[in-house]
Amino acid sequence: MTDDVLGYHGKRVIVSGCFSGMGEAVARALLGLGAEVHGLDYKQSALPLSSFKLTDLRDPTSIESAVAAIDGPIDALFNCAGLAGGGAFSPMDTLKVNFIGTRHLTECIIPRMPAGSAIVSIASTGGLGWSQRVPLHMELLQTTGFQEATAWAEAHLTDVAEGYGFSKEAVIVWTQYRGAQTIKRGIRINCTLPSPTQTPMMAAFHQTAGKAVVDAAAEPLGRYTTPEEQAGGCILLNSKLASVVNGSVLPVDGGFMGALAMGQIDLSRLMPQ
């Protein structure tokens, strides 16, 4: 294809969380770009994928089995699977899906990735507290494998709290830390920070954080983003156009992070009542 400016035509990619929301939007867009898309999720996908494997990111055996079922080199990984926090799911389940299982999946795939490959994970503006807890997150990052990370988290349940914010902080710290290592092999790793997005998870966010808090995080755009808009950031980061973008944390938020940095967001509105 002469117009394959993003470089996905014929590439073998994996999308976790492809059943719905951002993951489904990513997988659908990649199919349209001519990629060979392999999907992983806890629920069956209806998309015309090259392969699909039911996968539980809370279970390392399930993760390893899913990776083994996909033949050949992997050119791009899209970590889109995630759980809402705040009591909608248990803190440990949330942390396992959003970070521990996602990291395990990534580390299982990295040996199969040639130079020029890329990884993107969906974090969240809900992980903004990462910079205040880098030493704590570095303890978690020094664990090896799924079980050791789980044991660390179970010993730090007060820090894990409801699971969501801590897990997204961990994704952000891991992305920045791991990028300096994977790039030596020619593999890039980045993450995105979505603002509130209209996905099936939104009802859980409204119930746990409160609609007013979620709405405040949608400023200054003044609306929730769509899964397709969020997919764009992920696809751009893993594309050949972003060939030296590595270890980055990309806000895909309609200007929320910039407005927050410039004091244009009322922080009190972001606090649960």
Separation of first and last alpha carbons in the chain = 53
Measured between alpha carbons, how far is 2 from 9 in angstroms, rounded to an integer? 10
175 alpha-carbon distance from chain centroid: 10
Q: Which of 211, 118, 205, 207 is nearest to 168 (CA)?
A: 205
Task: Give the pLDDT band (50/70/90) at residue 263.
Answer: very high
Task: Give the pLDDT band (50/70/90) at residue 1.
Answer: very low
Arithmetic mean of pLDDT, 117-137 = 95
Q: Is the pLDDT score of 205 beyond 90? A: no
pLDDT at position 269, please? Answer: 80
Helix axes 101-109, 145-154, angle to 10 degrees: 160
Q: Is the pLDDT score of 208 beyond 80? A: no
pLDDT at position 66, please? Answer: 98
Task: Give the pLDDT band (50/70/90) at residue 3.
Answer: confident
Six-digit token string for 56:
């539980």
Q: Is the pLDDT score of 149 beyond 70? A: yes
Structure pTM? 0.95
For residue 227, is the peptide bond before it cis, meaning its omega torsion is within 30 degrees of 0? no
> Higher model confidence: residue 273 or residue 71?
71
Arithmetic mean of pLDDT, 192-207 = 80
Arithmetic mean of pLDDT, 216-226 = 88
Q: Is the pLDDT score of 47 beyond 90? A: yes
The rounded percent of the chain whose pLDDT value lies above 70 is: 96
Arithmetic mean of pLDDT, 175-181 = 98
Task: Give the pLDDT band (50/70/90) at residue 212.
Answer: confident
Q: Which residues contact 110 (CB under 8 A, 6 or more apart)?
A: 119, 182, 185, 187
Please report the domains of the chain, with CATH numbers, ordered by start residue. Answer: 12-270 (3.40.50.720)
pLDDT at position 217, please? Answer: 81
Contact 199, 224 (CB under 8 A): no
Torsion angles phi and psi, residue 249, rounded to 5: -120, 105
Q: Is the pLDDT score of 209 beyond 70? A: no
Contact 70, 39 (CB under 8 A): no
Decide: residue 20, CB within 10 A, 0-12 exposed, 13-18 middle, 19+ buried: middle
Q: Is the pLDDT score of 88 beyond 80? A: no
248: helix, strand or coil: coil
Arithmetic mean of pLDDT, 256-268 = 89
Per DSSP, the residues of 107-171 read HHHGGGPPTT-EEEEE--GGGGGGGG-HHHHHHHHTS-HHHHHHHHHHTTHHHHTTSHHHHHHHH
Task: Give the pLDDT band (50/70/90) at residue 273.
Answer: low
Arithmetic mean of pLDDT, 122-136 = 94
10 alpha-carbon distance from chain centroid: 23
List alpha helices for the chain, DSSP H.
21-32, 60-68, 91-95, 101-109, 134-141, 145-154, 157-160, 164-182, 202-209, 211-216, 227-237, 256-261
- The contacts found for 135-141 with CB under 8 angstroms, 24 or more apart, are 137/169, 137/170, 137/173, 137/174, 138/173, 138/177, 140/170, 141/170, 141/173, 141/174, 141/177
> Higher model confidence: residue 205 or residue 62?
62
Decide: residue 2, CB within 10 A, 0-12 exposed, 13-18 middle, 19+ buried: exposed
Please name the amino acid found at residue 120.
V
pLDDT at position 265, please? Answer: 87
